[in-house]
Amino acid sequence: MNKVLVLMSGGIDSSVAALLLKNKGFEVVGFYLNYTPYCNPRDEEDARRVAEILNIPFYSLDITQEFEEKIIKYFVESYERGLTPNPDVLCNDLIKFGIILEKALSLGFEKVASGHYAKIIKNNDFHLLAGKDKNKDQSYFLWKIKKEKLERIIFSIGEFTKEEVRKIASQNNFPNAYKKGSSGICFVGPIKLREFLKNYLQPKPGLIIDTKGNILGKHPGYFYFTEGQRHGLNIKTGKGPYYVVKKIPKENLVIVAREGEPELYTSQIEVIDLNILERDIIKSENLIEARFRYRQPLVKAKVEINEEEKAKVEFLEPQRMIAPGQSIVFYKKDLVLGGGIISKRIPFDIE
């Protein structure tokens, strides 16, 4: 019997994932990842109650130190550099399917499972695919997982829609069957991002200018803003709305543009920190599809990877509001080909 560690967050997705695996005959053990003070105690209690219903062992693992060192530090430093990071991608790679996967294997588990809406299939090799529910598909957050790890990971709800998962939870009388799903950045919680960052980055007032260099206002710190942001700029020219199109950390500047200005769009980007899962397909295909924002419709693009393992991505049509620091993920239909971190827009880049 295969022994599986299931990451149980207290939500219905991971709860149903555990149920499905138990019904298939796996020896299931539930693990809750506790990173105080960012977790809601109710989530752990919900996970524990589901484990009791399933009659499976359940443990709570404190990963606060690892989370602070690997996720929070990266998140804050990225904003300080003028980037817009995606911590979920790093958490999946370094924590859930990094530290926890290694620990699980060392303890005798054969696989680690989670409640992600994605699929892993074996066809000679192991491949990562988008989940059945296109509205909930989470493959965008999983591109950084190394290919050799896929055989040790199970996404058991990938063949289901959210409605089907909720129905299964209800039929099994799970206490969290109608629990609202989480959204946003987990460790920021209900407070605004700016308030969270103030715990780490002290205000650093500077100027807001337009693309021609005209001063439009002042900001409390460039790192409190992200590309594409419209609210919170406090520009009173009466000519808006304005959107952030660039931040220059060295000069403490926030540059904005109005609707219709070309700086809102880009046709080419540079991508670093690549993790290519299907290299042969990327090399052979003239056009692939890409997504640079969660739930964004796929867009067609050309991808060229150089000897330094950096990629130049050229979109068939100009794309709006691309933020350096975010992830871009490549697809061929449902198959995830790989991804990387957007380092700059060409030619309108971050210095």
Residues 57 and 137 in one domain: yes
CA dist., res. 201 & res. 76, Å (int): 8
Percent of the chain with pLDDT over 70: 95
Helix 12-23 / helix 41-54 crossing angle, nearest 10 deg: 20
- Per-residue pLDDT band for 177 (boundaries 50, 70, 90) equals confident
Distance CA 114, CA 7 (A): 5
Choose one of 147, 171, 195: the last residue of a domain: 171
Residue 147, pLDDT > 50, answer: yes
What spatial distance separates the first Cα and last Cα of the chain, rounded to whole Å?
54
**DSSP assignment, residue 309?**
S
| Domain total in the chain | 3
Residues 166 and 36 in one domain: yes
CB of 209 closer than 8 Å to CB of 304 = no
What secondary structure letter does DSSP report for 331?
E
Q: Which of 140-144, 232-236, 321-325 has the highest mean pLDDT?
A: 140-144
Widest distance between CA atoms in the chain: 68
Give catalytic status of residue 186 as yes or no: yes
Q: What was the pLDDT predicted at 1?
A: 63
Domain of 54 in residue numbering reads as: 3-171
From 28, 56, 91, 120, the catalytic residue: 91
Note whether residue 236 is domain-resident.
Answer: yes
Same domain, 210 and 65: no
- The whole-number pLDDT of residue 350 equals 39
pLDDT above 60 for 206: yes
Measured CA to CA, the distance from residue 336 to residue 20 in angstroms comes to 24
- In this prediction, residue 347 carries a pLDDT of 64
100 lies in the same domain as 7: yes
Domain contains 249:
yes
Percentage of the chain lying above the pLDDT 90 cut: 83
Nearest to 9 by CA among 116, 105, 93, 85: 116
Note the pLDDT tens digit of each residue in 212-223. 999 999 999 999
The verdict on residue 195 lying in a domain is no
Q: Is the pLDDT of residue 186 over 70?
A: no
Contact by Cβ (8 Å): 157, 18: no
Statement to judge: residues 20 and 81 lie in one domain: yes
Of 259, 275, 300, the position where a domain reaches its end is: 259
In terms of pLDDT, which residue wins out, 194 or 280?
280
Out of 8, 128, 142, 186, which one is annotated catalytic? 186
Give the confidence band of 182 by pLDDT, cuts at 50, 70, 90: low
Does 39 qualify as catalytic in the annotation? no
pTM (predicted TM-score): 0.93
Question: Do 34 and 94 have their domain in common?
Answer: yes
